[in-house]
Amino acid sequence: MDMTRDTLSRLRARARRLIPCSAEAEDLVQDALLGYLERSEHGAEIAAPLPYMMTALRHGARAQRRRAERLSPLDSTAEPQTGDAELPCFTGEVLRAVERLPEPDRALLRRVIAGETQPAALARDMGLPPGTVMSRLARARRRLRAALGEDAP
């Protein structure tokens, strides 16, 4: 792909919309370009380079936000809330309730608890259509709420 000024300016504009800091936005553009060049160098044929790099920008910005959230310091002036002490107890109660659900519900909710929240990924991992995963997940959540004594909508 021939990198034109227009291509670079479009990438930079997109990065600045995704990340307010101009230096970090520029780093994001460079990472996207480097990723594209590395893939091309290893023989990958990318039919649409600009959309590929735009997607790489979006993914990079999302990863950067997640890192920042994970690494942000705790507010030292924050006072403990009474609900904070109840959370571990409730979490244990939820996990025990999940274990009492039927196996298909349990398997699906375990994947969600482990952090997989994308329906397409869940469907691929379980070998099911996404619509089936979504309906099963809704039923599993409804059963979980019932097991916890919550009002199921």
CA-based torsion, 26, 32, 33, 34: positive or negative = positive
| Residue bearing the bigger pLDDT, 18 or 152 | 18
Q: State the Rg of the chain over Cα.
A: 22
Q: Per-residue pLDDT averaged across 25-44, rounded?
A: 89
> Which tens digit of pLDDT belongs to each residue from 52-76?
899 999 999 998 888 877 776 555 4
Confidence (pLDDT) at 69: 77
Is the pLDDT at 153 greater than 50? The verdict is: no
Place of tokens 């959309």: 51
Place of tokens 């244990």: 92
Q: Per-residue pLDDT averaged across 17-31, rounded?
A: 89
Confidence (pLDDT) at 45: 86
Confidence (pLDDT) at 1: 53
Q: Per-residue pLDDT averaged across 125-141, rounded?
A: 86
Q: Confidence class of residue 44 from pLDDT cuts 50, 70 and 90? A: confident
Distances (CA, A) of 67 to 30, 63, 64, 82: 18, 6, 5, 28
Q: Per-residue pLDDT averaged across 104-120, rounded?
A: 81
Confidence (pLDDT) at 57: 92
On average, the pLDDT of the chain sits at: 81
Q: Phi and psi for 149 in degrees, rounded to 5?
A: 80, 15
Most confident of 4-18, 82-96, 102-116: 4-18
| SS3 state at 94 | helix
User: Any residues with CB less than 8 A from the CB of 44 and at least 6 apart, and which?
Assistant: none
Q: d(Cα 33, Cα 1) in Å, to the nearest integer?
A: 11
Confidence (pLDDT) at 78: 54
Q: Per-residue pLDDT averaged across 86-114, rounded?
A: 79
Angle between helical axes of 22-41 and 5-18 (0-180°, round to 10): 130
Tell me which of 51-60, 85-94, 138-147 is least confident: 85-94
List the structure tokens of 101: 């659900």
Q: Phi and psi for 114 in degrees, rounded to 5?
A: -70, -10
